[in-house]
Amino acid sequence: MLGPRASELLTLASEPLGPVANGTVAAGRTGEELRELLDARNGFYALESALHVFPAGRAFVATSLEDWNAAGGWRSGYADMAEGLLFFAEDAFGGQFALRDEQVVTFDPETGEAQPLASSIEDWADQLLSDFEFLTGQPLAHEWQTRNGALPPGERLIPKVPFVLGGEYDVDNVYALDAAHGMQIRGELAVQLRDLPDGAKVTYRVVD
């Protein structure tokens, strides 16, 4: 049964992004909690599209949870940094929320680092609602969409100069790009940053 904060999050959500989900999403307690969330709303956008939760099974638009986590997809570009993670949602910039070891973790697309965030889906929803500006990037997403129109389904705001390399958290430094493509190009960056010594030069491609 969904907790009060997860239920409150759904009051801010779009229509479902997929048909009614059936079956197990992931093993374990948090996997069951995620299934309950998707049973109630199988994938959705919220907070002016700054939060995107993937639908299980089949997607009406964009991509499904299963396709997003496919081994041969974007996650292969992160080498072993994405192992053991089930990615189920993303923020405005493609920062990922994932399940790992009965926790919800954040995954930085520019560094490949995973950090514990919440102990349950209810805790995750509570933290999102309490600090959505930081955890989803909603203010910058709002500003970008005011200037450029609604962010298309399946796209995220990608920094022209990565934040980890000193890029400004500013509307002029982000552009809309297919979410999977944005993860792929930043996977290359994450691997470089992991394997290079401090102060070494890195290569990053800006895609039009």
Residue 198 has a pLDDT of 67
Among 11, 25, 191, 197, CA closest to 111: 191
pLDDT digits (tens, 9 = 90+) for 11-34: 999 999 999 877 678 889 999 999
Q: pLDDT tier at 195 (50, 70, 90 boundaries)?
A: confident
Q: For residue 200, is pLDDT > 70?
A: no
Q: For residue 157, is pLDDT > 90?
A: yes
Q: pLDDT tier at 206 (50, 70, 90 boundaries)?
A: low
pLDDT digits (tens, 9 = 90+) for 60-79: 988 999 999 999 999 999 99
Structural contact between residues 12 and 46, judged by C-beta atoms closer than 8 angstroms: yes
pLDDT digits (tens, 9 = 90+) for 169-178: 999 999 999 9
Reduced 3-state DSSP string for 103-145:
EEEEECCCCCCEEEEECCHHHHHHHHHHCHHHHHCHHHHHHHH
Neighbours of 127 (CB within 10 A): 16
